[in-house]
Structure 1
């Protein structure tokens, strides 16, 4: 009888204490340069959940609205009193997106706390194409006959251990309250 009581207790605790998400994809190790010209790596983010997305600064379509959506998300995180998170953007045009160019880009937006933002570059297109495909199951490629890059328009919730746990629309109808709820539940108690 004691054995069944212990099993029941463990099942209740397991059901109440952990966030499961829709996926469990390990993010590949990376160590890239951010807009502050310092390195951001998966190891440096260890222990901190983050929201990741793909962007590039000369984008004429989805990137400015996605970045603005990330700005709005951060304002809601701040209003909710959440502080244990990072916002990580991977440039899909690292040749043109130098730290200085990325700094100019992000300064166009009303960012609440720039210290939470890690807008990354310092790699080649093959590296970001591989990282996107293996870690986020996303495509990154040059649009045929254009200087524009094609990339995913999702926001990705990455847990403290570096696993992608859920993705959300980052362009159209961003589910801000769902993201806040999921981020709150993924955090250790």
Structure 2
């Protein structure tokens, strides 16, 4: 049954991604270090964005592992000017402490590049994800889980979403790195 939801969600994400996105709206949230991070703080730096939560029982652990592996490849390619921003889709449960603990379970090459964000309501992140990344965030009425997209997004130095990639099963690491390299040329 879970695979049917995954297929349906993937189809919806592809449809929404085809609609495109403009520039990410202003935000100012709390990261896993307890520090504020705003869109303004990211200006001038390309960043990878995704949506996860620490209590996830399905897609988030592999997505986080995939992002850590992607970061290892980014570092090996010589790129150093980038950030990774993961928005919690369960902000009520995901405190900075809980997110820090979650991240500690993954082979992160450079944790300083990461910002796991919280500090907003469930309604705010659902609207933010839809409006800025054309991505679904919705509470599962039958469990404590949150239904959300499994994409990695590349955001350029001006805050425009320029790439949407599979972050769950077939991460196109080479394509992402090439796209990031084009941003820094």
Q: Secondary structure at the match of 2:170?
A: coil
For structure 1, the 5+ residue unaligned runs are 1-21
Of residues 42, 46, 51, the one that matches 1:45 is 42
Q: Note if 1:111 corresponds to 2:108.
A: yes
- In structure 2, the partner of 1:129 is 126
Cα offset, 1:24, TM superposition: 4.9
| Contact 1:52 1:89 (8 Å CA) reproduced | yes
Query: Helix, strand or coil: the match of 1:26?
Result: coil
Q: In 2, Cα distance between the equivalents of 1:151 and 1:133?
A: 10
Number of positions where the alignment pairs a residue of Structure 1 with one of Structure 2? 167
Corresponding residue for 2:158? 161
Aligned to 1:144: 141
| Among candidates 55, 58, 70, match of residue 58 of structure 1 | 55
Larger radius of gyration: 1
Structure 2 portions without partners, runs of 5+:
1-18
**Runs of 4+, deviation exceeding 6 Å:** none
Q: What SS class does the counterpart of residue 150 from structure 1 fall into?
A: strand
TM-score w.r.t. structure 2 length?
Answer: 0.88
User: Separation in 1 of the partners of 2:134 and 2:28?
Assistant: 19
Q: Which residue of 2 aligns with 1:181?
A: 178
Alignment of 1:6-25 (within 5 A): 23-25=20-22
**Structure 1 residue 23, shift from structure 2 partner:** 4.3
**Over the residues paired in the alignment, what is the CA RMSD in angstroms?**
1.1
Q: 1:85 maps to what in 2?
A: 82
Task: Compute the displacement of 1:166 (Å).
Answer: 1.1
